[in-house]
Each structure stands twice: as C-alpha cells, then as structure tokens.
Amino acid sequence: VTYKNISGKARGAFLRAIAARLEERSEDLVQVYTLESGLPAGRAKGELGRTTGQLRAFAALAESGSWVEARIDTALPDRKPVPRPDIRKCLVPLGPVVVFGASNFPFAFSTAGGDTASALAVGCPVVVKGHPLHAGTGEAVGRCIQHAARETGMPAGVFSHLQGSGNALGEKLVKHPATRAVGFTGSQKGGLALARIGAERTEPIPVFAEMGSINPVVVLPSALDPSRGWATAYAQSVTLGAGQFCTNPGLILGVAGEAWENFTTALAIEIGKLPAACMLHPGMAEAFRALRAEFLSQTGVRSIKGTENEASGALVGGAVAGVSGEDFRQNPLLQREVFGPFTLTVACKDKNELLDIIKGLEGQLTASLLGEEAEIEAEPELLEALQGRVGRLLFNGVPTGVEVCSSMHHGGPFPATTDARFTSVGLDAFRRWVKPLALQNAPATLLPDALRDENPLGIWRTVNGEWTRDSI
C-alpha cells in the first residue's frame, strides 16, 4: 500500500496519534527544546500546544475529505453541435515532499510542524531536513512521528527525519528525483539557493520558501497619541521571542513632527524597559549585532535610545533607530530584515512621501495600519498600495501572533516568499502539496471514491455547477 492511497480517515488517525504521542512525551520534549533553543519553558509549552492543535486541525481536514474539491460535469450525449463527455476532477497528492525545519519554531514550524502536518494530511510522504540548531528536539519529535506511524499501521517511509551539517544534505534532498515539492522557512539566501536548485532540475519542482519580512507598520496621526498605548504594544511585539519571528515589525512609518518624535521616543523607552533576551544561538546574536551596527552606520540613521540591558553572548537587548523618509528611499539596504529585536522608524516629510515609500517596498508577509476608521478610510491610495505589497493587512493590531485557521494567509509577494499564491500557516497550507487531475469518460469502477456517483465519502462537490453532498 502506498501512502497516497490510504483513506482520509486513516491519515487523520495517524495525525491524531502524532499529537497524542507529542503530548505523552511533552515533559522530555520541552526540556530538550529549552536546552537547545534558549527559549523559555512557557514558550515551548505554548508552541507544543499550537503544534498538536495544527496536527488535529489537519487530521479533521483529512477526515472530512472535501479538500479534494471534487468537480463533476456529467455527460451530455445529446448536446449539439457536439456531445459533452463526462468529466470529473479532484485534487491529488503531488508525492514525497521535503520540509526544511525553521530555526525559530522548533515545534510548530519544524519536524511535526505545519508543513509536515499539511503534507501528511493530503497523502504526501514527508522527508524532514532537521534544523541543526535543534537537532535533539527534531530527533525526539521525529521518534514520536515514527511511533505514531507504527501504531496506526502506516507504510514504511511515510516519514523520515534526516540530519546533517552543511548544505550538502539539503541540496541532495531537493535534487532527489523522487522529491515532488519543498517547504522551507529561513533566510533569503538559503531559500533562494534551494529555489534555484528546484528550478534547475531536469524536472523542475516547486520550492515554497518563506524568507521573512520587515512587516511595515504605518502610524496615522491619531495613533501617535500616547493614550492609545501603541508604543507599549509595539515595544512588546518588537521584542517578543527576542524578535525572532518572521512577523516581527522591523519598520515603523509616520509623518514627521512633534507627535512623531514623542511616539518614537516613547517606543524606545518602552523597549529599553524590557530585559535582554536569549537568541537561538550566539552566532545569531552576533549576526544581529553586526547587522544592527551596519544599519546604524548608514547615512542619516541614528540610534534613538540604546537599551540599557545590552548583554553579551546569546543575550541581546531591543533597539530602535530613526531615519528620514528621504534617507530611507535612497538606501535599499535599509529594507533588509534585521533578525532580532530591532525596529527602524521612518519619519516621512508628508503623506506623499509615505505613499511613495510604501509603493517602493519589497513584498511583505504583513503590514499594519494604525489609526481611526475615518482616518484610514480617507487614505484609499495608501490602503491600495499596502494591499499590493502584502499577504495580510492588519488594522490596529500587532503582526506577531499568527492564528492557525482557514482564513489565515501567511505568505506574501517576493521576496517574502517564492510564491505569493500560497500560505504556510493555516489549513490552506495543504494547497502547496496537491495538483488537479481530471478524468474524462473514466469507467465507474476506476473512479476514486471522491468522484463516484454514490459519493461514498459524503463530501461537498459541485455536480453540473451546483454544490451538493448528494449522490448522482
């Protein structure tokens, strides 16, 4: 039996067994996670809950079966001038996929994370390239998946977890002829290198790379008022998880003036009050310090207030820098992601300059707009420009904290991802791992269950253009 032919119900049971095993082993898993990542136990437990929640959500998707989007157009033999054949279409799994675990989410975006859960749900075997920064966590989680596979009678090879240092292993996996697609979360350099390998294969395959973002935040005049509390909320968002989130707000824009000065100073003060935090690895903290220093050495960039809690090793404190709109526009380097607790504030000379900057931004996972409803409604051009640059636009909120649900979109125009049409968070993440297959005049006995007249799975389908769960 091959995994793609296993029923949705059985795949659901497999995913639920993984979630249950992770819960059984949670004490050990949290221990190795915290030791390896430097992240606190509270975060580890929260992330484990998110991971088991994702697994169960994808189990429900597999069990319901309607994700195949069955479309049936029955034959019209008497149609003139030519008869219509019987055509039936549904989504089918692509085949084995390779998942590159993310360094910053050892549970939720790694071995048993959203990429793995979404691929297993729709019948794709998974090979995980473990992230070297949490090799032990990856190994322990991988064993839970293997245990669940045995327990639920899954075919051998449904899941593998491979480790190796250096790029050779990842390159080989992307080049392997059996690999049909790749999911990646990490740096732009790594994502682009793997996307190139995928595109240059004899038979090219999609590499869905999520490569981060600076998540611009536009602060309209009313939101600068200290009583709104945005400086405090944003200080927390910038420093959450030592700033190691792809939705970390790295760029905050507004129109220059006294209110703007006061707002950015308040933001820096709030950030300065927060304790230094441990990054995933001393090397990452070093990279953070180096890039922050490079930003601060650019023309017109000034430190608004260095944190009082700066520390050495893997510990870093948050920081805020400021620059004028003119200097920002002149310098593409300032659009780079500084992975860590850092944000650049941009003082635009007027609304036109703010709009020009938004139009010139690279593709982003998110953007946020702070202000009163009437104020936002009065800026249709700004709204339109932001919508063109992002996958998710937030109104009066902070971008960190990504809900896992059907309506979530965690993707964005290049270079945030390699393909803005897809998401790596939420139930629609499965769309990366499937392709449509149309069957024309297929004998009834050869039809998959999803396309049979009797609708044995009881799924939602369109039959001659009408949504129904009825049989034909």
Minimal distance, residue 375 CB to ligand NAP, in Å: 31
The question of whether 286 is a catalytic residue gets the answer: no
Candidates 246, 270, 337, 348; catalytic one: 246
Write phi, then psi, for 138 (nearest 5 degrees).
-60, -45
Cβ atoms of 70 and 459 closer than 8 Å: yes
Cβ atoms of 310 and 263 closer than 8 Å: no
Cβ atoms of 75 and 84 closer than 8 Å: yes
Minimal distance, residue 187 CB to ligand NAP, in Å: 3
Per rule CB under 6 A, is residue 210 in the interface with ligand NAP?
yes
CB atoms near residue 277 (< 10 Å): 24
**Looking at 112, 194, 347, 358, which residue binds ligand NAP (CB under 6 A)?**
194
Per rule CB under 6 A, is residue 214 in the interface with ligand NAP?
no
Instruction: Considering the complex, state which of residue 19 and residue 99 has its C-beta at the smaller distance from ligand NAP.
Output: 99
Minimal distance, residue 28 CB to ligand NAP, in Å: 23
Kindly report the CA angle at 459 between 458 and 462, in degrees rounded to 5?
A: 120
Instruction: Considering the complex, state which of residue 159 and residue 260 has its C-beta at the smaller distance from ligand NAP.
Output: 159
Interaction with ligand NAP in 220-249: which residues (CB under 6 A)? Answer: 246
Binding mask 282-321 for ligand NAP (x = CB under 6 A): --x--x----------------------------------
**Looking at 27, 165, 441, 466, which residue binds ligand NAP (CB under 6 A)?**
165
CB atoms near residue 37 (< 10 Å): 25
Sequence letter at residue 239: T
Consecutive H or E run containing 119: helix 114-121
Per rule CB under 6 A, is residue 186 in the interface with ligand NAP?
yes
Total residues at the site for ligand NAP (CB under 6 A)? 26
Instruction: Considering the complex, state which of residue 264 and residue 423 has its C-beta at the smaller distance from ligand NAP.
Output: 423
What is the token pair recorded at 301?
């960039």
Per rule CB under 6 A, is residue 131 in the interface with ligand NAP?
yes
Instruction: Considering the complex, state which of residue 105 and residue 433 has its C-beta at the smaller distance from ligand NAP.
Output: 105
Per rule CB under 6 A, is residue 212 in the interface with ligand NAP?
yes
E-strand ranges in 181-259 read 181-185, 207-210, 217-219, 251-255
Consecutive H or E run containing 238: helix 230-239
**Looking at 90, 91, 94, 193, which residue binds ligand NAP (CB under 6 A)?**
193
Interaction with ligand NAP in 46-105: which residues (CB under 6 A)? Answer: 100, 102-104
Minimal distance, residue 335 CB to ligand NAP, in Å: 14
**Looking at 81, 166, 177, 443, which residue binds ligand NAP (CB under 6 A)?**
166
Helix axis angle, 8-24 to 41-64, nearest 10°: 160
Cβ atoms of 252 and 270 closer than 8 Å: no
Minimal distance, residue 185 CB to ligand NAP, in Å: 5
Binding mask 316-355 for ligand NAP (x = CB under 6 A): ---------------------x-x----------------
Interaction with ligand NAP in 257-286: which residues (CB under 6 A)? Answer: 284
Per rule CB under 6 A, is residue 394 in the interface with ligand NAP?
no
The question of whether 124 is a catalytic residue gets the answer: no
Sequence letter at residue 214: I
Catalytic residues: 210, 246
Task: Give the interface with ligand NAP as residue ranges (CB under 6 A).
Answer: 100, 102-104, 129, 131-132, 165-167, 170-171, 185-187, 190, 193-194, 210-212, 246, 284, 287, 337, 339
